[in-house]
Amino acid sequence: MGRMLARRVLFLAPFALALALHPLGVEATLGWCRTDPLFAIDGKRVHIDVYSLEEALTSVTGPTELVITIPERVSYELLQSDDGFGLGWNIRVQRSEDFEVREKGVEVRAVAVVPAAKQLPVKVEFEHRDEVIARGIGTTNGPVAAKAWL
């Protein structure tokens, strides 16, 4: 039993170290800044949260780009938004015939690009009923995507 436990610890150690050193690790979350438009998609209220470090407030160089993809014939409405990281939003909703409506819900995707003078971590989350249902992780100046079923 001791050897098996030791093997598991040795196997998992690199993953734990990578998580601890990742720019989105536990320490980084303490200083995160969240912006979040609120949508109604197919009658369900969903926040699409875009996070970065507080430093983004002084590093962004333009509006946050947000593209939401939903299936054909699904209703949507932007209920509210804030000023993003201080320079607003460019929000677009596009429809895809490849996205589905099933018994388990509606397939949706959000892709965000936060333009900034320096590379910072970015996180995109779908939040429905106060629960995170999907997450994407990346950096400023590149697309960060999250896909969910609502």
* pTM of the complete model: 0.78
Structure confidence at residue 149 (pLDDT): 95
* Parent domain of 94: 24-149
d(CA 41, CA 124): 17
What's the chain's average pLDDT?
Answer: 83
Examine residue 124 and state whether it is found in any structural domain, yes or no: yes
Examine residue 43 and state whether it is found in any structural domain, yes or no: yes
Residue 22 has pLDDT above 70, yes or no: no
Q: How many separate domains does the chain show?
A: 1
DSSP string, 100-136: -EETTEEEEEEEEE--BSS--EEEEEEEETTEEEEEE
Question: Residue 9 region, left (φ>0) first, then alpha (ψ -120 to 50), else beta?
Answer: alpha
Amino acid type, 20: A
Examine residue 139 and state whether it is found in any structural domain, yes or no: yes
Pairing of strands 89-96, 64-71: parallel
Examine residue 6 and state whether it is found in any structural domain, yes or no: no
Q: Is 122 exposed, middle or buried (0-12, 13-18, 19+ CB in 10 A)?
A: buried
Residue 8 has pLDDT above 80, yes or no: no
Examine residue 96 and state whether it is found in any structural domain, yes or no: yes
Pairing of strands 131-139, 32-35: unpaired
d(CA 45, CA 39): 6
32 is written with which tokens? Answer: 């995160």
What does the pLDDT look like over 75-128, one tens digit per residue?
Answer: 999 999 988 899 999 999 999 999 999 998 999 999 999 999 999 999 999 999
Examine residue 5 and state whether it is found in any structural domain, yes or no: no
Give the count of alpha carbons within 13 A of 23, CB side only.
Answer: 12
Examine residue 4 and state whether it is found in any structural domain, yes or no: no
Name the range with the highest mean pLDDT among 3-12, 20-29, 92-101. 92-101
